[in-house]
Amino acid sequence: MKLKAQYILPLILLSVLISHWTHLDLSPRGTHLWRQCNSLAVAQNFYEESMDITQPRVDHRKNSNGVTGMNFPGYEFLLASSYKIFGFSSWHHRIFQFLIFSVLIIIVYGIGIQLGFGIHVSSVLAFAMAWSPELYYYAITALPDVMALMLALASVLFYLNWKKSFKMLHLAFLALCILLAGLIKLQYFMFAIFIVADNILDRKSPPALPLILLLIPVGGAILNWYIYAIELRSVNHLYDFGLFVNSGESGDKFKILTSNLLSTIPELLIGYALLPLVLLGLIVFIYKSSLGSKFKALLVLSVLVTFHILELGQMRHHSYYMLPYIFISALAIAFAARYMIKVKLGWLLVLLCLAQIPLTKLRIDHRFNEVQSELPPEFLNESDLAQLKAELDGSEHALVGPDPSGCIYFYYLGVKGYNAFGLEQVSQETGIQKALAKGYIEVIALRKSQNHTFSEGFEGFNKTAELGDFVVYKKQSL
């Protein structure tokens, strides 16, 4: 009995959901935990303090209101809005993220249909995206980049529809999606370059002038937001979010590039089971595509390489910066799939796709269960965490840590204030020393194994609790 084609896409999404079923009720954890907690803290602060989207707030705020500049917090604002409707929980974000992921995969499938791949090959295209190890991880892990990618690819879908229909409505939605994608993560404005280039090079496309005239103010609006965000960071001197290009140190560049090419891209972005299909797809594209298509592909590659070099410093540890590459590799897989079906090798295609599932799980699932050095064991024990949070009582004048991330401890403990990272220097005139002297700090929660300097306590504070590796002090006046 053959599987009906219209059921394939829902089954792809269902397979990812079932695979993540035991992870859905987990609090933030895994790779890039600091990035998760930063976004989730901004969302929670929208929910609890103010829904002013132009005033995002962080927890590591010292003696301020926490307002800082960042990429446009559209993701965090929508998550906070869902908190308003359904209430807050430590795992709510995973369902929210899966919905964004699902829309992304549906859009990818739609792009495949618009490109003329047909239902079966478009399903392979969607599968390659959904079961990319990197995207599989972020299917339920808080990250604004997935929403930015979804919006950028939605702009591609609207563009393909506009090329066929010439309807201004499609053009308007294209511009809106590019605007939001670029606001949420600046690098996704590169999709505007891809679209304009294709429009100019394709003689059958509508005139390029309306598209260009529409995208110029879009680019201006995105630029204005980031100028505003950079200025906003200096108001409270809070620099939790990087807003500048990071090309890395010259001595590390070759090492980073080698690691990206030999490990990150084949292992995390593509997956070893589908890697042969990417290579086959590239060969098929080179031999079968037109000269115009090759030129467009070269242009896209040039833009991506330029972006990669400019942000090479980020590419060492931040593989999610490479999410657009997954779509490019999935397109190559689609070319390979179409060729394999044509030469009666569909059975091998199916086997490789099926092999991708356990290999992806083997590579990624441990992230949800492994003990991480930056996440104290007390945070993973519901009873211990509840006791710590009760002691701290949601204080906005807390000193916690030491936390190199500057956000994980605040998020888990539900407090705001100062980070104890670098407390060995407290005897000097540091910001923390001044904060203690001026009474800005009311409660303290430190890991005693990492704060030997303060084993004798703090002047004016009483030790009120000791739980696991944590010691809690409260101001004597409280």
Cα separations in angstroms, 224 against 173, 178, 194, 231, 447: 21, 15, 22, 11, 42
Mean pLDDT of 435-451: 84
Closest CA relative to residue 51, chosen from 77, 79, 25 = 77
Peptide bond into 402 cis (omega under 30): yes
Q: How confident is the model at residue 324 (pLDDT cuts 50, 70, 90)?
A: very high
Q: What is the mean pLDDT of the chain?
A: 91
pLDDT class of 3 with cuts at 50, 70, 90: low
Of residues 449, 455, 451, 423, the one with CA closest to residue 436: 423
- Taking residues 328-339, what's their average pLDDT? 97
Residue 2: the pLDDT is 58
pLDDT, tens digit, for every residue of 29-49? Answer: 998 999 999 999 999 999 999
Long-range interactions of 156-165: CB distance < 8 A, separation 24+:
156/111, 156/191, 156/194, 156/195, 157/107, 157/110, 157/111, 157/114, 159/195, 159/198, 159/199, 160/111, 160/114, 160/115, 161/114, 162/206, 163/199, 163/202, 163/204, 163/205, 163/206, 164/114
Binned at pLDDT 50, 70 and 90, residue 426 comes out as very low
- Average pLDDT estimate for 377-400: 92
Rounded percentage of the chain residues whose pLDDT exceeds 70: 95
Going across the sheet that includes 417-419, the strands are 417-419, 398-401, 443-447, 470-475, 461-467
Tens digits of residue pLDDT in 246-285? 877 777 888 999 999 999 999 999 999 999 999 999 999 9
Please report the pLDDT score of residue 247 as a whole number: 78
Give the pLDDT of residue 71: 95
**Cα atoms in the 13 Å half-sphere on the side-chain side of 159:** 31
> Does 429 score more than 60 pLDDT?
no
Pairing type for strands 443-447 and 398-401 reads: parallel
Give yes or no for residue 69 having a pLDDT over 70.
Answer: yes
Spans of all domains in the chain: 5-368, 377-475
Residue 457 in this model has a pLDDT that exceeds 70: no
pLDDT at 430: 60
At 204 the pLDDT is 81
Which tops the pLDDT comparison, 438 or 148?
148
Burial of 342 per CB tally in 10 Å (0-12, 13-18, 19+): exposed
